[in-house]
Amino acid sequence: MEKTSKIYVAGHRGLVGGAICRQLEEQGFTNLVVRTSAELDLRDQQQVNAFFEQERPEYVFLAAAKVGGIYANDTYPAEFIRDNLLIQTNVIDAAYKHEAAKLLFLGSSCIYPKFAPQPMTEDCLLTGSLEPTNEWYAIAKIAGIKMCQAYRKQYGFDAISAMPTNLYGQGDNFHPQNSHVLPAILQRFHNAKHEQEESVTVWGTGSPLREFLHVDDMARACIFLMEEYSGHDHVNVGSGKEISILQLAELVAECVGYKGAIVTDPSKPDGTPRKLMDSRKLFDMGWQPELELREGITQTYQWYLDNYVNGTHNRGGKD
């Protein structure tokens, strides 16, 4: 990409899309094109085609999606599969038809089977059953990967896919029901500190292991892949480091300044024991994450204070 190349970031108000815009600007790219969902409904094929006809972006980061945690996935399965299939189908097809030079599609680690071997390599895809609570979202994302591969195979369109691990950071969703594990824990400890609660209860035994990557690192990886990678297969993007849920809770408590006790509740479900991405393919290309978890959580907590506690933040879902 040239610094003046026209770059379209779909989903610029979301967690990943916002980070990609920040990183592009920090790296000196000056010709970014964005639209809010009110200005451009990516589920509408006519609107998407008209946008690409008018703007003709050279590079496309497809970070727009309908996203949410287990509760949202399980409660709105039709919306999750329909909206995501429409968004990615319209954007990938329009980018090809209007001669974009390259497109990067963002997926999710939930594309892998529920009982995939650990750590999960790229070739685990479609080797087993999905986690039932988010299979609707996962199937849509798998279709996006396969669509990129199909357009590469049939049309020679340079479409690539990146699969991130659990992301967190500036722009995260702190909705009490629809947020992911790290922002949910962070908010819980903040509230416990504010209310001077004596203890905070963590669901399950606290033993499951999870991997986290700061969204700014994810954005840097996306730009790296856009510039350095062109291939059929999708690429895992993770930190390569695991932490137990209990250790995560203890680390968040330290960053927030909560001094009370942390209690586990083994009567509640643990979920998958381990969920680690194998990111050696990306690491071997020369990319490495920059932010350690403690630093990333501290930054995220400050952003949460600035935007949710001391300010207002748009909690929109699919921007």
Active site residues: 137
How crowded is residue 64: how many other Cβ atoms within 10 Å of its Cβ? 28
**Residue 210 marked as a ligand binder:** yes
Binding site annotation covers 165? yes
Q: Both ends of the chain: CA-CA distance in Å?
A: 24
How far is the C-alpha of 223 from the C-alpha of 173, rounded, in Å? 23
Half-sphere exposure of 290 (CA within 13 A, CB side): 7
172/279 Cα distance (integer angstroms) = 23
Tokens 């209690």 locate to 263
- HEC profile of 220-282: HHHHHHHHHCCCCCCEEECCCCEEEHHHHHHHHHHHHCCCCEEEEECCCCCCCCEECECCHHH
Cα–Cα distance between 233 and 144 in angstroms, integer? 12
144 assigned to a ligand binding site: no
192, burial (CB in 10 Å: exposed 0-12, middle 13-18, buried 19+): buried
Annotation-wise, does 257 bind a ligand?
Answer: no
Residue 188 among known ligand-binding residues: yes
Instruction: Identify the sign of the CA torsion 2, 8, 13, 14.
Output: negative
Say whether 167 counts as a known binding-site residue.
Answer: yes
Residue 180 marked as a ligand binder? yes
Q: Does the annotation flag 214 for ligand binding?
A: no
Is 14 marked within a binding site?
yes
CA–CA distance, 112 with 66 (Å, rounded to integer): 19
The tokens for 319 are 């921007």
Is residue 166 a known part of a binding site? yes
Determine if residue 107 is labeled as part of a ligand binding site: yes
**Residue 17 among known ligand-binding residues:** yes
What element of type H or E holds 60?
strand 59-62
Summarize the annotated binding site as residue ranges: 11-17, 106-109, 141, 164-167, 180, 188, 203, 210, 270
Summarize the annotated binding site for substrate as residue ranges: 188, 203, 210, 270
Summarize the annotated binding site for NADP(+) as residue ranges: 11-17, 106-109, 141, 164-167, 180
